[in-house]
């Protein structure tokens, strides 16, 4: 039996004024507690916009977002406050969302202070770094000095410090080299397991999320055109857009006969 529905959208749409077509068109979907879901589609199909609508970071033209049976949008300030703690977000290109002038310690202290109401001690900050397998000596460094992979991990540590029930991550591994992608994906999987946390991971690259997610939503022109278990989608994609994404996965070129 599936776990309870945690997040739900009903007919969620976004159409900027004066634009002929919606960017997100009447999307109704359910995400279950602890579920790991990929949202994939070609560049510009509306993935990031859908994520921001779900997070109530951007106003919708119509539709609703529900979290554990509570209406989140149209916005209720009281409901939003709890929602922001339970559903965390890692924006695209996290290195750019960290304040380069702040230290790693300050960056991690902020959500912890929000959660507990008091200033976190060094041990708590070290534990936050340990969760994402970073050395505690990084605490005193400025964010500007972090490598891309370290910044990614600090952004993840900041998001999970609030102990969210669901993490929405926009292209968390794009821009990283292959070994680092695998490490970050494995880290997200471990954290999701350890904290019983659901994941909604946006990517334009099916291969980078197939191992991490049990279910895939395929987005095309603002609509979800396929919603299937990952293995089923990999073997029997139904929609041409899914087929196209599968075909886009790079394969090793055939070996040239050297005899
Ligand atoms: N507020 C807005 N007003 C007008 N157009 C917008 C607005 N927000 C997004 N768009 C457009 O909507 C389309 C979808 O953008 P979005 O960032 O959601 O796509 P995406 O699938 O996440 O793309 P990518 O994979 O490249 O990040 C793009 O063409 C974008 O320029």
Q: Which token pair is 201?
A: 């991971």
Cβ–Cβ < 8 Å for 206, 245: yes
Q: Classify residue 246 by its DSSP letter.
A: H
pLDDT of residue 113: 86
**Quick check: CB of 24 below 6 Å from ligand 1?**
no
Question: Which sequence spans correspond to the domains of the chain?
Answer: 5-101+164-247
pLDDT of residue 219: 97
Cβ–Cβ < 8 Å for 203, 40: yes
pLDDT of residue 180: 79
pLDDT of residue 258: 54
Q: Which protein residue's CA is at the shortest distance from atom 17 of ligand 1?
A: 48
pLDDT of residue 114: 78
Distance CA 173, CA 34 (A): 20
**Quick check: CB of 158 below 6 Å from ligand 1?**
no
pLDDT of residue 94: 74
Burial of 89 (0-12, 13-18, 19+ CB in 10 A): buried
pLDDT of residue 256: 64
Q: Is 106 helix (H, G, I), strand (E, B) or coil?
A: helix
Distance CA 210, CA 214 (A): 8
Q: What is the DSSP string of 122-139?
A: HHHHHHHHHHTT--GGGG
pLDDT of residue 248: 84
Whole-model pTM: value is 0.90
Ligand 1 pocket: which of 24, 47, 61, 91 to mutate (most atoms within 8 A of CB): 47
Q: How far is the CA of 106 from the centre of ligand 1 (A)?
A: 32
Q: How far is the CA of 155 from the centre of ligand 1 (A)?
A: 23
Ligand 1 pocket: which of 21, 48, 59, 173 to mutate (most atoms within 8 A of CB): 48
Q: Which atom of ligand 1 is nearest to the CA of 51?
A: 18
Map tokens 């070996």 to a residue: 255
Q: What ipTM did this prediction achieve?
A: 0.94
**Quick check: CB of 59 below 6 Å from ligand 1?**
no
Q: How far is the CA of 198 from the centre of ligand 1 (A)?
A: 25
Cβ–Cβ < 8 Å for 29, 9: yes
Q: Which token pair is 20?
A: 């002929």
Q: Which atom of ligand 1 is nearest to the CA of 204?
A: 25
Ligand 1 pocket: which of 20, 22, 23 to mutate (most atoms within 8 A of CB): 23
5-101+164-247 domain in CATH 3.40.50.300?
Answer: yes
Q: Which token pair is 85?
A: 């703690």
Mean pLDDT by 10 residues, the chain (259 residues): 89 93 96 96 94 93 94 80 88 84 94 81 89 91 91 90 92 80 87 92 88 95 96 94 89 62
């Amino acid at each position: 039996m599936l776990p309870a529905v945690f997040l739900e959208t009903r007919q969620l749409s976004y159409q900027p004024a004066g634009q002929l077509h919606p960017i997100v068109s009447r999307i109704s979907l359910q995400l279950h507690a602890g579920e790991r879901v990929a949202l994939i589609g070609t560049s510009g199909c509306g993935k990031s916009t859908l994520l921001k609508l779900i997070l109530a970071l951007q106003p919708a033209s119509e539709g609703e977002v529900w979290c554990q049976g509570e209406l989140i949008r149209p916005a209720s300030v009281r409901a939003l406050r709890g929602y922001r703690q339970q559903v965390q977000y890692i924006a695209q290109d996290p290195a750019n969302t960290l304040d380069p002038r702040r230290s790693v310690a300050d960056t991690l202290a902020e959500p912890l202070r929000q959660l507990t109401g008091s200033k976190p001690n060094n041990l708590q900050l070290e534990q936050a770094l340990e969760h994402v397998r970073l050395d505690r000596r990084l605490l005193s460094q400025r964010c500007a000095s972090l490598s891309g992979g370290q910044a990614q991990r600090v952004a993840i540590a900041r998001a999970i410090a609030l102990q969210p029930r669901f993490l929405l991550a926009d292209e968390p591994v794009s821009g990283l080299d292959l070994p680092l992608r695998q490490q970050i994906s494995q880290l997200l999987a471990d954290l999701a397991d350890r904290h019983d946390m659901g994941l909604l991971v946006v990517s334009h690259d099916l291969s980078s999320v197939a191992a991490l997610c049990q279910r895939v939503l395929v987005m095309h022109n603002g609509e979800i055109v396929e919603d299937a278990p990952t293995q089923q989608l990999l073997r029997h994609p139904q929609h041409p857009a899914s087929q196209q994404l599968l075909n886009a996965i790079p394969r090793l070129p055939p070996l040239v006969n050297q005899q």
